[in-house]
């Protein structure tokens, strides 16, 4: 049986979370078109006849960290890079220009001790016009693949190759006790918070998602079988709080409605989501370490 850890490495918005979700076949990481959507390391479990893989989805590595949150996100990603892994996927978005940020990730990929696979993502785009800027690095890596994680295209050859180079194990070293399957490092409270945060990224303007954090205060199944969830959106300024609430509370109701539907789908129960907004200018220091 083949078994091992596969680390995904790349700058923000290259499609690492979409790849992990679509390989596993279930949503384990939230996605949005905005950078910094993934703030924490997510581990997802993949199993088939050939063996087991734990995919580790790291936050995108920023070239420059101008704020505390970006700095902490980078620290989380770099801590994960320094752990023992069996295979590394270095993912590139050839629709974006190579820059200092990409150079920083490339430098990390070059130092990895595990085999590194170069993966061009977003090949559903008919004109990946910056592909030529990356061609010079292809010879440095063990193998090169071109995929579309979004459309689930050309992912099988990549998965086949990963299994080819993973180590053989006589018995599984992975234990899942106390963890949420197929997410191995996040409990249900954390996953629900992530689903709510995703809706803010998808439905709000540029600044608000980065100034917001979700706290789950209570999860309790009521006698009628409805799951009651009490959650707070923390944001750094009163002006953002007003935007999140919206005129006559319309925006918070909209966010809550979309989040409630997805949570209900994920846990297969009816959900009552009690969602409020608070201002806390220091949430990054208090809740994000």
**178-198 pLDDT, tens digit each:** 555 666 667 888 889 999 999
Angle ∠(76,81,86) on CA atoms, nearest 5:
140
* Structure-derived torsion over alpha carbons of residues 26, 192, 214, 186, reported in degrees to the nearest 10: -70
Q: What is the pLDDT of residue 1?
A: 87
219 is in an annotated binding site: no
The Cα–Cα gap between 287 and 101 comes to 27
Q: Which one has a higher pLDDT value, 274 or 225?
A: 274
52 is in an annotated binding site: no
51 is in an annotated binding site: no
Q: What is the pLDDT of residue 82?
A: 67
Q: Which one has a higher pLDDT value, 155 or 43?
A: 155
Domain spans, the chain: 2-165, 188-287
10 is in an annotated binding site: yes
**113-154 pLDDT, tens digit each:** 999 999 999 999 878 889 999 999 999 998 999 999 999 999
Q: What is the pLDDT of residue 84?
A: 81
**81-92 pLDDT, tens digit each:** 767 899 999 999
115 is in an annotated binding site: no
Q: What is the pLDDT of residue 156?
A: 96
**212-264 pLDDT, tens digit each:** 999 999 999 998 989 999 999 999 999 999 999 999 999 999 999 999 999 99
* Structure-derived torsion over alpha carbons of residues 6, 12, 16, 17, reported in degrees to the nearest 10: 110
Per-residue tokens: 281 = 């200018």
86 is in an annotated binding site: no
Q: What is the pLDDT of residue 226?
A: 95
**Is residue 64 very low, low, confident or very high in pLDDT (cuts 50, 70, 90)?**
low
72 is in an annotated binding site: no
Q: What is the mean pLDDT of the chain?
A: 88
Q: What is the pLDDT of residue 183?
A: 66
Judge whether residue 49 has pLDDT over 80. Answer: yes
In this structure, CATH architecture of domain 2-165: 3-Layer(aba) Sandwich (3.40)
192 is in an annotated binding site: no
Q: What is the mean pLDDT of residues 153-172?
A: 92
**68-85 pLDDT, tens digit each:** 766 776 776 777 776 789
Q: What is the mean pLDDT of residues 56-79?
A: 71
14 is in an annotated binding site: yes
Q: What is the mean pLDDT of residues 47-53?
A: 90
Judge whether residue 61 has pLDDT over 90. Answer: no
Judge whether residue 273 has pLDDT over 60. Answer: yes
**Range from 50-64, 134-148, 275-289 carrying the lowest mean pLDDT:** 50-64
For residue 197, what are the contacts with CB-CB under 8 A and spacing of at least 6?
30, 209, 212, 213, 214
277 is in an annotated binding site: no
Percent share of the chain, pLDDT over 90: 60
Q: What is the pLDDT of residue 142?
A: 85
Q: Give the class (CATH, top level) of 188-287.
A: alpha beta
61 is in an annotated binding site: yes
- For 156, counting Cβ atoms within 10 Å of its Cβ (0-12 exposed, 13-18 middle, 19+ buried), the class is exposed
Q: Residue 198 phi/psi, 5° resolution?
A: -60, -40
Q: What is the pLDDT of residue 28?
A: 86
């Amino acid at each position: 049986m083949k078994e091992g850890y596969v680390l995904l490495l790349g700058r923000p918005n290259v499609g690492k979370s979409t790849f992990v979700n679509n390989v596993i076949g279930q949503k384990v990481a939230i996605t949005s078109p905005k950078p910094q959507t993934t703030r924490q390391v997510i581990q997802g479990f993949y199993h088939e006849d050939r063996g087991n893989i734990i995919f580790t989805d790291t936050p995108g590595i920023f070239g420059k960290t101008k704020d505390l949150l970006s700095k902490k996100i980078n620290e989380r990603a770099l801590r994960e890079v320094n752990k023992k892994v069996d295979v590394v996927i270095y993912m590139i978005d050839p629709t974006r220009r190579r820059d200092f940020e990409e150079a920083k990730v490339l430098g990390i990929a070059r130092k990895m001790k595990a085999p590194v696979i170069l993966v061009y993502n977003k090949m559903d785009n008919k004109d990946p016009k910056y592909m030529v800027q990356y061609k010079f690095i292809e010879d440095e890596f063990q193998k090169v693949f071109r995929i579309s994680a979004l459309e689930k295209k050309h992912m099988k050859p990549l998965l086949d190759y990963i299994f080819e180079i993973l180590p053989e194990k006589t018995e599984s070293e992975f234990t899942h006790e106390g963890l949420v399957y197929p997410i191995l490092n996040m409990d249900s409270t954390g996953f629900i918070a992530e689903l709510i945060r995703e809706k803010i990224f998808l439905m709000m303007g540029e600044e608000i998602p980065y100034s917001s954090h979700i706290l789950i205060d209570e999860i309790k199944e009521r006698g009628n079988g409805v799951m009651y969830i009490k959650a707070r959106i923390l944001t750094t300024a009163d002006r953002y709080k007003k935007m999140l609430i919206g005129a006559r509370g319309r925006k918070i109701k909209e966010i809550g409605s979309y989040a409630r539907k997805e949570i209900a789908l994920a846990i297969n129960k009816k959900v009552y989501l009690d969602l409020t907004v608070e201002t806390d200018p220091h949430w990054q220091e208090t809740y994000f370490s």
